Amino acid sequence: MNARSVRGAVAVAATLCALAGVAACNVQSDSDTAADPSGSASSAPQAKDLKVGWSTIYLTPSWMQQTLKMLQADVDKLKSSGKVSAFETFNANGDTSQQIAQIRAMIQQKYDVILVDAGSSTALNPALEQAVAAGITVVAFDSLPTSTKVIRVGTDQKAWGAMMATWLAKKLDGKGSVIAMNGPAGVAVSEDRWSGAEAVFKKYPDIKIVSNVHSEYNLAPAAQAFASAYSAHSDIDGVFSQGGALSAAALQTLVKQDKKLVPITGENYNGFLKLWQTKQKEGFSSIATAQPNYLSVIALEAAIAKREGASVPQDITVPLPEITDDNLAQYAKPDQPDDSYPIGDISQSEIDKLIGK
């Protein structure tokens, strides 16, 4: 055996090993993809053995993990009733092109239902519309694409911004200087929430946005961004924040520097809720809303209903919960980690109402 053929053998063996490794991983996954072919027949009156896939732009953040848990619970329920036979999660890990590939793969693998949490509001449209054209029921939730051919389950992000801004403006009696904490530039959610808020602030000419800060929705970068804005404008009367981690970062900074706890708008990020609760007696006041994790459940139920022939509305806007100084205790969970998003379950009747059953 000469060196060349040895090398060739090594090459082949290594490739096989790599593929064997892939196959081994396969065993660990919990999928049972043996779908009954009859299940893929479209618009059967009773949904049976549906193959469901969820493509998400991220899976690591705790919000996504909670969403997955809730979704999985609903899937288990549907599996026991025989409506769903297989469920797969695809994580694009921030790469939108990868998400397109995932959707294409699901089309080729003849999924019945595609759920999607979109990484781009526009880039997925052709792929999603292709899926719809292939007879697949496509439901987007949370971060939505602009396509009108898919069912979209979301909250009104502009209303989110408006809710926060209205509360803050009233709290400040319509005048004062405010630091705005927004998400990363160019991200649709962030831009939407801000445009909703901006429209409200326009009605209060005496409220001045002294600094508009952009930051990742993460505690550490947000704390840095806020600290530098605050050092330039330490005389502010309030903080408009459009995300829980951003709010927590702002509040922590004020607490740490022992400054006046001006009103800060928030989200159901537990780290913020806990701090809010402890500082309530020092006069700190806030409002928070939530991007409810049960969006995913509504999305799945909407897809099933659609397969069963119900006339599901194209756009399902889930009302935003309102967390105030009065009902804070129901939400804040002192025994749970900061990085969680406490939210109650949604009742089946509410779901049915939303999806038009």
Partner 1 sequence: MRERALAAARGNTDLLALAVLLLVLLIAYQHYDSSLLTPASITILSAQFLPLILAAAGQTTVMLTGGIDLSLGAVLALAMAVFATYDAQGAGGVITAAVLALLVAVGAGAVNGTLVAYAGLPPIVVTLAASFLWGGVTLVVLPQPGGTVPGGLVDAYNNGWNGVALPAVAVAVVLVGWKLLRTTRHGLALYAVGGNEHGAYASGLHTRGVKISGYALAGVFTGLAGIGLAVQTGSADPTIGAPYTLNSIAAAVLGGISFFGGVGRMRGTVLGALVIGLLTNLLLFTGISPFYQLVAQGVILVVALALKTYLTREAAV
Query: Contact residues for partner 1 (CB under 8 A)?
Result: 3, 7, 10-12, 14-15, 17-19, 21-23, 25-26, 28-31, 33, 59, 88-91, 93-98, 100-102, 104-106, 108-109, 119-126, 130, 146, 184-188, 191
Nearest Cα to 115, choosing from 79, 90, 140, 142?
Answer: 140
293 Cα distance to chain centroid: 7
Supply the minimum distance, in Å, between the C-beta of residue 210 and partner 1.
21
Instruction: Give the sign of the dihedral formed by CA 91, CA 89, CA 147, CA 314.
Output: negative
For residue 39, the tally of other CB atoms under 10 A from its CB is 19
Supply the minimum distance, in Å, between the C-beta of residue 308 and partner 1.
26
For partner 1, the closer CB: 55 or 166: 55
Supply the minimum distance, in Å, between the C-beta of residue 59 and partner 1.
6
For partner 1, the closer CB: 56 or 270: 56
Looking only at the bridges linking them, the beta strands covering 137-141 and 151-154 are: parallel
d(CA 291, CA 108): 32
Instruction: State the burial class of residue 116 (Cβ atoms within 10 Å of its Cβ: 0-12, 13-18, 19+).
Output: buried
What's 242's DSSP letter?
S
For partner 1, the closer CB: 127 or 354: 127
For partner 1, the closer CB: 3 or 283: 3
Supply the minimum distance, in Å, between the C-beta of residue 187 and partner 1.
7
Supply the minimum distance, in Å, between the C-beta of residue 49 and partner 1.
17
Supply the minimum distance, in Å, between the C-beta of residue 329 and partner 1.
36
Asked if residue 194 lies in contact with residue 182, where contact means CB atoms within 8 angstroms, the answer is yes
For partner 1, the closer CB: 159 or 255: 159
Nearest Cα to 194, choosing from 153, 237, 145, 160?
Answer: 160
For partner 1, the closer CB: 183 or 263: 183
* 270 sits in which H/E element: helix 270-279
Asked if residue 207 lies in contact with residue 175, where contact means CB atoms within 8 angstroms, the answer is yes
